[in-house]
């Protein structure tokens, strides 16, 4: 999640479950494991937002 108003904030989360659970079932499974970070550093917010916008643009171009 990335927001820049009213204050810059990034939340990044990713699954680190064991291979037999990874990507299977819901996130409420107590055996699942997740890691991540939160930052309000404007530099990180800007870089991640630019990167994700670029990825989104490439995906739109590829599907046309």
Say yes or no to pLDDT of 60 above 80.
no
Higher-pLDDT residue of 43, 61: 43
pLDDT tier at 4 (50, 70, 90 boundaries)?
confident
Q: Name the pTM for this structure.
A: 0.68
Query: Which residues are CB-contacts of 52 (< 8 A; sequence separation ≥ 6)?
Result: 2
Q: Which residues pair with 9 in a beta bridge?
A: 3
Stated as kind and residue range, the H or E segment containing 11 is: strand 9-15
Residue-level pLDDT at 42: 95
């Amino acid at each position: 999640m990335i927001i820049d108003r009213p204050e810059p904030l990034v939340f990044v989360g990713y699954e680190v479950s064991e291979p037999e659970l990874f990507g299977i079932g819901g996130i409420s499974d107590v055996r699942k494991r997740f890691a991540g970070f939160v930052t309000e550093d404007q530099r990180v917010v800007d870089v991640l937002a630019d990167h994700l916008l670029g990825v989104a643009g490439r995906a739109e171009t590829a599907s046309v």
